[in-house]
Structure 1
Amino acid sequence: MAKYFGSLLIIGAFLAHTLGVLPSATLDAIERLADDVRQRASLTYDIDPRVVIVDIDEASLAEYGQWPWPRTVLAEMVNRLFEHYEIAALGFDMVFAEPEQQQVLMALQALAEQGELPADLIANIAADLDGDRTLAQAWQDRPVVAGFVFNQQEPIMLGAPVAPALRLESVPPPRLAIPQPPGATHNIPALTAAATSSGFFDNPSVDRDGIFRRATLVQQQGDGLYLGLSVRLLQQALGDLPMAIRTAQRGDELLLTQLQLGSLLIPLSEQGSVRVPYLGPQGRFPYVSVRDVINGQVPPDILRGRMVLVGTTAPGLKDIRATPVDNLMPGVEVHANVIAGILDQRIPVKPDWALAVDVLQLVIVGVLVMWALQRLEPLYSILLAVILGALSLASNVLLWQAGWILPITTTLLLIVALYSFNTSWSLLVENRSRKKLTRTFGQYVPPELVDELASRPNLASTTGEARHMSVLFSDVIGFTSISETLAPEQLSQLMNRLLTPLTQEIHRHRGTIDKYMGDAVMAFWGAPLPEEQHANQAVATALAMCQRVDELSHELAAEGLPALRLGIGISTGNMAVGNMGSAFRMAYTVMGDTVNLGARLEALTRRYGLPILVSETTQAAADQFEFQEIDRTHVKGKTEPVRVYRPLGKKGEVPTETLTFVARYHAALDAGFNGEIEHATTLLTGLVEEHPADKTLYHALLERFAQQQKNPQE
């Protein structure tokens, strides 16, 4: 439930960001970077000859000196462009906000004021040297667009204001959701009056990271709408085309949605800007040097009938912009890209339905990914997430190529966020489960089995359940009398020396320690992890335990301590396993009739003088070992006699002599059970003489057969 809730919170956070309720500068920055990647991937790198840039470059600065130049130089350039090269229209990506200051003219005027030169002579000279008037004359009656800049902060007006491109007719004029600059810096009156029109070249739509992704084309002052330099230049080049705007109402806000220039439609964002449709890095438009224009060294075909922008690539003049396609692009080329995009009608636009699509996509993708992560296997959930991400990306790129701008990073980041959260949550839960398993089973099973449990927690359970398992009971025969002869410290040391190797063997054979009961040990196989060979493992453990106790007994004998003998009983069958106990203390243990039989078999080892006895079901399941049937006897809790066996060793490792002896013993046993008491007694007597080590077993059976002969009904 917590995982579902966390996933829903993530989806909700992304939806809140998309709806503007929870804005995130980081997500916005990532989206801008994604836009840059898409734009760079779709660049055509074409050269567009329709717009030519007359460049104030380093060569021109070397020819005419530092900027600003005498305006007579610029006037000569303008005359050359229109008279010699016959350009269509000219735009200046610069502003002449102050009259030209000429030191020579100022000195002559000072002499005239002192009476040293005639005033009328100075007036004639001043007229000839007036660069502002000369430049204005060069502009006069020609399609020249003067550049100016708006002041977005201070209400300062410099130069001669220009007439707006359009006026809003309603009174009071509506306040559009576009830049509303309080001030502006225009050209000096003579140039403003001489220019056919004026267009601003400042860009309040620059993103926070300083990248020129968008260009503002419309700004408002009062009831006037003013257009950017690129739009104004295009208008003049196409014959002073008529203009119109389209608006849309959104609540109390009036949005400018489209600018129409003749038959050309320019889709606008809410801020009156467009996404610049860059053709590529710098150099997508022809550049010619001002020096070469004035000197007539530019091939006429490059300029004839073209739209011309006057700008600069000289680094010292600080008109270099960072764009998504070039970190060092001259600002004048940004205007050229906008003009080319308008002419080709390929201005990308964010459609009105973009928000609805984004929200719907987030919901669908988010729910599908959340469902997949909760329900499917990890491989399939990852595959589905990758497919959804690829489909979202592919559709977004196709829409981008069609001119539609839709966000993409929110969907992709949502997939990443959901996958990261669910993976982290699963790792946290798995770690907690691993620690829980370690705490639960670490005291019962060997470390390698705990690791296996942690890697397959679904196979382990502490809740009660029925399983087919094997249980082992081990006890030291006569330990009570031994303990009475030892001091407490010696007894403690002996217990450690005894239980340590026994536990090692149980762990080595993948057994689970149930409990220690003094010198007794209880263990089982088949839980917490299923174990198909539980009977074989239990028998192998019993044999190994006896061998380890024999080795320990030799050590004890060397120390003057009594030898130890084990009695082990093993039973196989269905039993209940799990955490059992009370509200105060729980233990992971086994219970059931099979468990009780194992305890009874351990007690029977004393009757027969044998170290290990197993049940008939254990003998049948432990198919890796040879067994000797010992007896068919009654045990407490059973109405029918049970067959008990002792393991002889692994198949193929038991000597032939032993197997022959066992066959003779089985013959004696069968004779006794078939009522042939005398024959059985004769066979057993012979076995006692040949194998005195098992005399306790034989005497127990002889005693049984003698009692059976006296009382046949028992």
Structure 2
Amino acid sequence: MKKFIFSNALWGVLLSLLTLFFYFTGSGIETIESKFYDFRSKLRAENFPKTEFAIIEIDDESISKIGRWPWSRDKVSDMLVWLSSAPAKPSVIGLNILFSEKEKNDSLKATQILKGKYTQLLKDNKIKERGKDSEFLKAIDEISENMNMDAKLALAITDANNIILPMYMKTDNLMTKPDEAPNWIRKFAIKTDDFENEAEENLMEGSAMTVPLEVLSSSVAGIGHVNVFSEPDGTIRREYPFISYNTEVFPSFALEIVRTHLKRKSEELIIMPGHGISIGKYTMPLDASSSMLVSYTNGETSFKSYSFYDVINGKVVPEAFRDKIVLIGPTAQGIGSFYVTPLEKNLPAVKFTANIIENILHNNYIVRPTWSFQAELALILLVAIFITFVLPRLKALIGAILTILILGGIISAGIFLFVSKGEWIK
């Protein structure tokens, strides 16, 4: 009896049961799988240039030469005016800066105070003007208009007619019903009339939103969320193309950029929670949580980047942006958002967005095949049979060689499917 208890066969059974336990619970083994996933992601990463992109970086050089962040918004509006003029004219501009509050402008505030004081003096008859209309008040209004950088940026956005702005959603505190979304934001919600009843179970839900100013949002081509969700190890491996808010669904920043680039209307987005998203000839596969696994490219070689300072100072030819997807965002240290990904420790948000857009336009996806669970379970059982009944009957050397060959074959097959086919088998 003691000999049986400590037999190799019993150890094989126990090891197999332990493996099945870890597989179904995810305890411990998920950390190992995540590291192996990242290793395969590095092997899969493409290095060739994506010619439809141009990234304008608010980089360290721009900060040092233009001034500390945040800049006055006329700097951004000047860039939009330049890009929107021939011969530049990109197909879409993703402005990855959240303008949720009015620009602090002490000079503008001073002119408003001066106008108020002067108006009160006129009302109190302490001063008099000869003309019917006050030339002084007209002058103040003209000065105020020139100082209103939010209005200047809004005008640049209106004239461009292809700007996508970001918004942010909180996704905690779902116990209470969120406040109604502003009307100027609701027009960017995706139509969801055809959703199945169980769709809500597959949606990430928002509890509050931070949105761009109404004066900026009124004439943009689209607005999308820039939320990212890290996994337990802090790494970003997924994109959520839409988030539910109350009874409406809002697209991501990247998805809105793609839609505008393809010249599609919001109602042409067909979303199937837990299955996929269709837009024209493009289909984005989604997992059960309605997220998409991001297939990262080598950012240093895949996306052509330019310094904001160089572009605005005429050091880059405007033709470099013609008909391109132009993304503008911070990459300088200390401003903006940076993410840990399978390939990089500090990926700027603007380049994260570029990766997602690239995945959609190039059909470059990582998916869990429908047969993945059956395949993984079959492999576990086959290895269990080998360890329990075959390995104990073999000589040590032969057993070691066979074990190495089997494990090597399984690992190699997993790497091949992931790198070449974009199919993730754990």
SS at match of 2:364: coil
- Residue number in structure 1 paired with 2:283: 265
User: Structure 1 residue 369: deviation in Å?
Assistant: 2.3
Give me the TM-score of the superposition, normalised by structure 2: 0.87
- Residue number in structure 2 paired with 1:190: 215
User: Structure 1 residue 293: deviation in Å?
Assistant: 2.2
User: Structure 1 residue 197: deviation in Å?
Assistant: 0.8
Q: Distance in 2 between matches of 1:344 and 1:308?
A: 17
One-letter code of the match for 2:416?
A: L
User: Structure 1 residue 304: deviation in Å?
Assistant: 1.2
> Which of 234, 243, 260 matches 2:269?
243
> Which of 122, 144, 149 matches 2:163?
144
2:305 is the counterpart of 1:305: no
2:22 is the counterpart of 1:17: yes
Change (3 A) 1:173 1:31: closer
One-letter code of the match for 1:103?
A: D
- Residue number in structure 2 paired with 1:208: 232
Count how many residue pairs are aligned between Structure 1 and Structure 2. 395
Whichever of the two has the greater Rg, that structure is 1
Q: Distance in 2 between matches of 1:107 and 1:219?
A: 41
> Which of 391, 412, 415 matches 1:373?
391
SS at match of 1:372: helix
> Which of 356, 364, 377 matches 2:374?
356
- Residue number in structure 2 paired with 1:532: none
One-letter code of the match for 2:67?
A: G
SS at match of 2:244: strand
One-letter code of the match for 2:20?
A: L
Deviations for 1:575-621, whole angstroms, at most 9, x for unmatched residues? xxxxxxxxxxxxxxxxxxxxxxxxxxxxxxxxxxxxxxxxxxxxxxx
Alignment of 1:146-295 (within 5 A): 146-154=165-173, 155=178, 161-169=185-193, 174-204=199-229, 206-240=230-264, 242-246=268-272, 255-295=273-313
User: Structure 1 residue 163: deviation in Å?
Assistant: 2.9
Contact 1:144 1:196 in 2 (8 A): yes
User: Structure 1 residue 386: deviation in Å?
Assistant: 0.9
Change (3 A) 1:290 1:296: same
Change (3 A) 1:351 1:293: same
Alignment of 1:40-189 (within 5 A): 40-84=42-86, 85-115=88-118, 118-140=136-158, 142-154=161-173, 155=178, 161-169=185-193, 174-189=199-214
Change (3 A) 1:67 1:283: farther
**Structure 2: runs of 5+ lacking an equivalent:** 123-135
User: Structure 1 residue 275: deviation in Å?
Assistant: 1.7
User: Structure 1 residue 295: deviation in Å?
Assistant: 2.2
Q: Distance in 1 between matches of 2:301 and 2:215?
A: 34
User: Structure 1 residue 83: deviation in Å?
Assistant: 0.7
Contact 2:94 2:327 in 1 (8 A): yes
User: Structure 1 residue 156: deviation in Å?
Assistant: 6.8
Contact 2:23 2:29 in 1 (8 A): no
Change (3 A) 1:322 1:156: farther
Q: Distance in 1 between matches of 2:244 and 2:78?
A: 35
User: Structure 1 residue 74: deviation in Å?
Assistant: 0.9
Alignment of 1:446-465 (within 5 A): none
User: Structure 1 residue 173: deviation in Å?
Assistant: 8.2
Change (3 A) 1:5 1:163: farther
Which structure shows the higher strand fraction?
1
2:11 is the counterpart of 1:6: yes
Q: Distance in 1 between matches of 2:196 and 2:22?
A: 37
- Residue number in structure 2 paired with 1:678: none
- Residue number in structure 1 paired with 2:133: none
Q: Distance in 2 between matches of 1:31 and 1:269?
A: 18
Q: Distance in 2 between matches of 1:152 and 1:222?
A: 12
Deviations for 1:299-358, whole angstroms, at most 9, x for unmatched residues? 233211100111111001042222111212212111111111211111111122211111
SS at match of 1:288: strand
User: Structure 1 residue 267: deviation in Å?
Assistant: 0.6
One-letter code of the match for 1:212?
A: I
Q: Distance in 2 between matches of 1:199 and 1:330?
A: 17
Q: RCO higher in 1 or 2 (8 Å CA, sep ≥ 6)?
A: 2
Change (3 A) 1:42 1:77: same
User: Structure 1 residue 133: deviation in Å?
Assistant: 1.6
Contact 1:18 1:358 in 2 (8 A): no
Give me the TM-score of the superposition, normalised by structure 1: 0.53
Contact 2:167 2:225 in 1 (8 A): yes
RMSD: 2.2
**Structure 1: runs of 5+ lacking an equivalent:** 247-254, 408-714
SS at match of 2:85: helix
